[in-house]
Amino acid sequence: MSARFAIHVASAALALLTFASLPANAADTVDPAADAKVFKKFFTDKFPKLGLEDFVNGPYSMNEDLHKQWEEKEQFPPYEFSLEAGKEMFSKPFKNGKSYEDCFPNKGIGVRQNYPYFDEKEGKVVTLELALNRCREANGEAPFSYVKDDMAALTAYMAFTSRGKPMDIKIPGDPRALEAYQKGKEYFYTRRGQLNFSCATCHIQSPSIRRTMNIAISNITCPMSATDCRFPARERGHEDRDAQVYLRRDASGHGCYVGIGREH
């Protein structure tokens, strides 16, 4: 009887020991700055000939022919229609007379690079889409679906007003922010869906001249480019020609980690 008792105590102690070690382990591995360095090094090692500012343009920075086609397209960009629709939507006041300008700093112009941000009062990540929908609901309008054209046009317009500005995602030292960051990071690397791909499968494991280099390796040095406004982007590698829109929204909802990989 006492032997059994001893075994029970021993196994209980072992269990306690194992569980006790877990939280400590998780807490000291969240280091966005260190992650950013590793991330950056991975890409600069892989593509040594590219300048830092070229990464944001993806395949267009790596292939002369593509670059020429891209520059030509910029004269008559296919995203123009979405941009105009977005501008119209943005300028139109709500039923109660107010408008999106009242919800954003600097009237919503040239602020897109600051999203998503961590709201320390709320303890929550606020994406641009969330901020826009909150603005709508606060003024008596129905929120937009994240995966339909309306929201895409609005965010495309706002991104266009920030064209040329580097993404400026800030991750405060607040443990809740770091937790959100960690969640985002885990999401980024988790395989999911029918094809069992993670975001990393295409964006880290296999970037090439053909696709998916649109990851800013430093949210400080990589300016937003025309690729932010490609709605819908048919020349991308995503099956559905509108898929880039979905991916964009999807990625934007997942923690501050997206600040390091610019939301694609």
Partner 1 sequence: MASTIRVRATSTGDTTEVQALIQHPMDSGFVKDAQGAIIPPHFIQELTFEYDGKAVFVADWGGGISKDPYVKFAFKGGKKGDDLKVSWVDNKGATDTTTAKIQ
Q: Is 76 in the site for partner 1 (CB under 8 A)?
A: yes
Closest CB to partner 1 among residues 64, 72: 72
**Binding residues among 202-241 for partner 1 as defined by CB under 8 A:** 232, 234, 241
Please give the C-alpha separations between residue 23 and each of 47, 170, 242, in angstroms, as whole numbers.
37, 25, 41
| Nearest distance in Å: CB 148, partner 1 | 10
Question: How many alpha carbons fall within 13 Å on the CB side of residue 139?
Answer: 17
Are the beta carbons of 167 and 222 closer than 8 angstroms?
Answer: yes
Return the structure tokens found at 65: 């022919």
CB of 236 to partner 1, least distance (A): 13
Q: Vertex 240, ends 237 and 241: CA angle to 5°?
A: 75
Cα(203)–Cα(191) distance, integer angstroms: 13
Measured from the CB atom, the residue of 78 and 223 that comes closer to partner 1 is 78
Q: How wide is the angle at C-alpha 40 spanned by C-alphas 233 and 220, nearest 5°? A: 75
Among 50, 63, 73, 107, binds partner 1 (CB under 8 A): 73
One residue of 18, 75, 106, 194 binding partner 1 per CB under 8 A: 75
Q: How far is the CB of 196 from partner 1 (least distance, A)?
A: 24
The answer to whether 87 contacts partner 1 (rule: CB under 8 A) is: no
Q: How far is the CB of 157 from partner 1 (least distance, A)?
A: 17
Q: Which is nearer to partner 1, 78 or 172 (CB)?
A: 78
108-120: b (≥16 Cβ within 10 Å) or e: bebbbbbbbbbee
Closer to partner 1 at the Cβ: 120 or 150? 150
Q: Pick one of 42, 52, 67, 78: the residue that binds partner 1 (CB under 8 A).
A: 78
For residue 120 the two structure tokens come to: 């320390």
> Which residues contact partner 1 (rule: CB under 8 A)?
72-73, 75-76, 78, 80-81, 232, 234, 241
